[in-house]
Chain A
Amino acid sequence: DGGITQSPKYLFRKEGQNVTLSCEQNLNHDAMYWYRQDPGQGLRLIYYSQIVNDFQKGDIAEGYSVSREKKESFPLTVTSAQKNPTAFYLCASTSAGELFFGEGSRLTVL
């Protein structure tokens, strides 16, 4: 089945630690995205990549980093510089404007 797979689904981290969230897609989409969802807020764009080996900052990129070495994969690293990392993270991909989302990863910082 084609789709977007995010892992892990739940993740706990201590303050000061970096953590990497995985996102893999087998839809052959060129563009991939990372969003963050917080209670009472819409989805906010962290980073996006239109093509392999290229990525752009979204609206809230500070404290995050990404890589796009393969078309299928777009991992997101939440660094210790991110002041409020506890959130629900969503990866998405698209080929024609409509986003297809993964199941999400919930990160909790203890």
Chain B
Amino acid sequence: DQQVKQNSPSLSVQEGRISILNCDYTNSMFDYFLWYKKYPAEGPTFLISISSIKDKNEDGRFTVFLNKSAKHLSLHIVPSQPGDSAVYFCAASARIGTASKLTFGTGTRLQVTL
């Protein structure tokens, strides 16, 4: 059973516009969420995280929103740039610091077009 779901396998956005990547989870014990970005043939790199005590976390062009009641989080990238084209993984865990319990989504491939 997929506890972390990214229902959109791909997304295409024009340069300069907003990219919104979505992630849903089913386990109510999850209280720490992360987004990773991955280029082909490379390891994922950490992008941004949020704990369940917050509903928003912002870092430059990247903002993550958490809706606990809906068990939904989203990553907003604005403005989108061609270098943002990559696969984005959502991940969740039941406690900060327990990387061994991270559950990853299946990823969303973002394509930023000129």
Contacts and interface: CB of A to CB of B under 8 A. Distances in A.
B42 A104 contact: yes
Given A40-B106, A41-B106, A98-B34, A31 B44 contact: no
A1 to B, nearest CB: 14
A4 to B, nearest CB: 7
Interface residues of A, number: 30
Q: Looking at chain A's contact residues, is the secondary structure mostly helix, strand, loop, or mixed?
A: strand
A94 interface: yes
Interface in B1-40: 2, 4, 9, 32, 34, 36
Interface residues of B, number: 27
A14 to B, nearest CB: 23
B44 A97 contact: no
Given A42-B107, A99-B99, 5 more contacts: A4-B43, A43-B91, A88-B41, A99-B44, A103-B42
Interface of B: 2, 4, 9, 32, 34, 36, 41-46, 49, 89, 91, 93, 96-100, 102-107
